[in-house]
């Protein structure tokens, strides 16, 4: 394990990410709750949450719109909206139509709208997945009319494919120290 970068034949399939620095020893970094992907999925990892956000992005605001258009039951829509509310993805606003009592509409917060790339990436990926040869939706850039897709781009503006990407620990010195600390302070801190 001291010489992990060149110990295998590694014939085919290096077309994934490169692990840099201490993270190259991948097995040293199995900490629960460490991965942002997992944390994201803990919040919006259910199908019902995703499709509700989808409808909110399509402009739905009222409870019955959201429930009907997502084809979720009232019960699921209700509890999921409550959870999305608690997680800061939607907020409720009172409104009143003439002759109606006060109701609430649901709108996405900034954090909710920030899910746009996630939904778009899923939509792109779902395209190659058998199904709609023609009936599907298309999301376009209003104004120029061109279809949109989710791409991975670096801060310098280059489009980045998987094999051009590298993963590393952001603040490695701190993380190594924290790991040492955690190891001594509370041995089972990883799992609980």
Partner DNA sequence: ACGCTGACTTTGCGATCCCTTAGTCAGCAT
Partner DNA sequence: ATGCTGACTAAGGGATCGCAAAGTCAGCGT
Binding site for DNA (CB under 7 A): 45-49, 62-64, 71-76, 78-82, 99-104
* Region 114-143 residues binding a second copy, contact defined as CB under 8 A: 114-129, 131-132, 134-143
Tell me phi and psi for residue 105, to 5 degrees: -115, 155
Closest distance to a second copy from the beta carbon of 82 (Å): 18
Q: Output 23 or 77, the one with its CB closest to a second copy.
A: 23
What is the CB neighbour count within 10 angstroms for residue 9? 5
Q: Which residues pair with 18 in a beta bridge?
A: 166
Q: Which of 33, 47, 108, 38 shows the shortest CA–CA distance to 76?
A: 47
Please state, in angstroms and rounded to a whole number, the distance separating the CA atoms of residues 152 and 60.
29
Closest distance to DNA from the beta carbon of 63 (Å): 3
x/- contact string, 34-63, with a second copy (CB under 8 A)?
Answer: xxxxxxxxxxxxxx--xx--x-xxxxxx--
Closest distance to DNA from the beta carbon of 62 (Å): 4
**β-strand 18-19 against 90-96: which pairing, if any?**
unpaired
178 in contact with a second copy (CB under 8 A): yes
* Region 146-175 residues binding a second copy, contact defined as CB under 8 A: 146-156, 158, 160-162, 164-171, 174-175
First-to-last alpha carbon distance for the chain, in angstroms, is 27
């Amino acid at each position: 394990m001291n010489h992990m970068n060149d110990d295998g034949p590694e014939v085919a399939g290096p077309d994934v990410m490169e692990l840099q620095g201490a993270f190259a020893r991948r097995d040293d970094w199995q900490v629960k709750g460490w991965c942002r992907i997992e944390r994201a999925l803990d919040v919006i990892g259910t199908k019902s949450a995703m499709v509700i956000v989808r409808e909110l992005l399509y402009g739905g605001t009222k409870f019955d719109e959201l429930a009907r258009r997502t084809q979720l039951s009232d019960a699921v829509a209700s509890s999921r909206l409550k959870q999305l509310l608690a997680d800061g993805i939607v907020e409720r606003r009172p409104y009143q139509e003439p002759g109606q009592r006060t109701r609430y509409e649901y709108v996405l917060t900034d954090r909710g709208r920030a899910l746009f790339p996630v939904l778009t990436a899923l939509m792109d990926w779902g395209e190659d997945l058998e199904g709609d040869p023609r009936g599907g939706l298309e999301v376009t850039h209003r104004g120029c009319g061109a279809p949109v897709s989710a791409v991975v781009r670096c801060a310098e503006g280059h489009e980045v494919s998987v094999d051009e990407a590298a993963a590393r620990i952001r603040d490695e010195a701190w993380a190594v120290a924290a790991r040492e600390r955690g190891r001594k302070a509370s041995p089972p801190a990883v799992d609980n």
